[in-house]
Amino acid sequence: MSKPEGGRRILDVTLRAQSDAVREVLGLARPVLAQGGLSEESCGRAEIVLAEALNNIVEHAYCDTATGDIRLLLDLSEAHLTMTLIDSGRGLTGADLPEGCCPCLGETRQSTPEGGFGWFLIRSLSEGIDFCRRDGRNRLTLRLARETGDDADQTRG
Amino acid sequence: MDLVSHHSGDVNVITVNEPRIDASAAIRFKDAMRGLTASGPSRVILDLAQVRFIDSSGLGAIVASMKQLPTGHRLELAALTPDVDKVFRLTRMDTIFAIHASTEMALRRAAG
């Protein structure tokens, strides 16, 4: 599997498409990201994006059947973290990816939304998103800036 | 899902003794919250100091916990760690819940 230009691969792992396995892999990825030199703030952004992307594959590509695998690649360059997720689940096209608008918060307690935030979080925290279907596999690539202005915010806070 | 409730005066303080509220824990969290909030004080404070990470399923479970409260009861949040705070701010859920720096500060503030 080719690496993004100038990047070094810091993780290549395959997990079962199941929510407990997602939790386990996130627990594995976080210290790898920190050792790669990412700040706490960047590790947090990466973990949120990764959790949402993996959960989407578990729930939608494999329809919660836990019958398939997901391969996760993490590549780090000077400016970016690139996360690549490959699955053999239900086929999507790039046009199928939700726009990820922030759900309207509703005017009453009962109308407050309980879902629909996953793609909003992915799109809010990613700098670039690429999707392709090839050889019966979905391949989602998420690029995050290594650092953002939020780092300074967090230091101040 | 390890949630502990104790009543402090007229407040139900629920402490989440878990590092994550995520897709694999969301339903258990919501069910546990229902059991701890079906009766008791009308002011409920959820102490999230030990929760390091939340995803959109966990966020949805907290919203569902708020919606399943008896009429007139309300849910407030305390001690959000940085990644949890980020999810609440990005989704603007910080405008839906009263959020306190800590449970101690929430208790010092009179209900109202």
A 10 A CB-CB count for A114 gives 19
At residue B111, does pLDDT exceed 60? no
B62 Cβ contact list (under 8 Å, min separation 6)? B21, B29, B46, B54, B75, B77, B93, B97
Residue with tokens 């909003």: A120
Tokens read off for A104: 């309207």
Indicate the residue of B64, B91, B96 with minimum beta-carbon distance to A120. B91
Instruction: Write out chain A's pLDDT in tens, 157 residues.
Output: 666 666 899 999 999 999 999 999 999 999 999 999 999 999 999 999 999 999 999 999 998 887 899 999 999 999 999 999 999 998 877 777 888 888 888 778 888 988 889 999 999 999 999 999 999 999 999 999 998 766 544 444 3
Indicate the residue of A51, A103, A113 with minimum beta-carbon distance to B55. A51
Question: Residues B62, A24: contact at Cβ < 8 Å?
Answer: no
Predicted confidence at residue A92, as pLDDT, reads 75
The model's pTM: 0.92
Tokens read off for A16: 């079962």
Portion of chain A with pLDDT greater than 90, in percent: 67
Question: Residues A88, A68: contact at Cβ < 8 Å?
Answer: yes
Give the tens place of pLDDT for each residue, A7-25.
899 999 999 999 999 999 9
3-state SS assignment for residue B43 = strand
Answer yes or no: do B92 and A109 touch at CB < 8 A. no
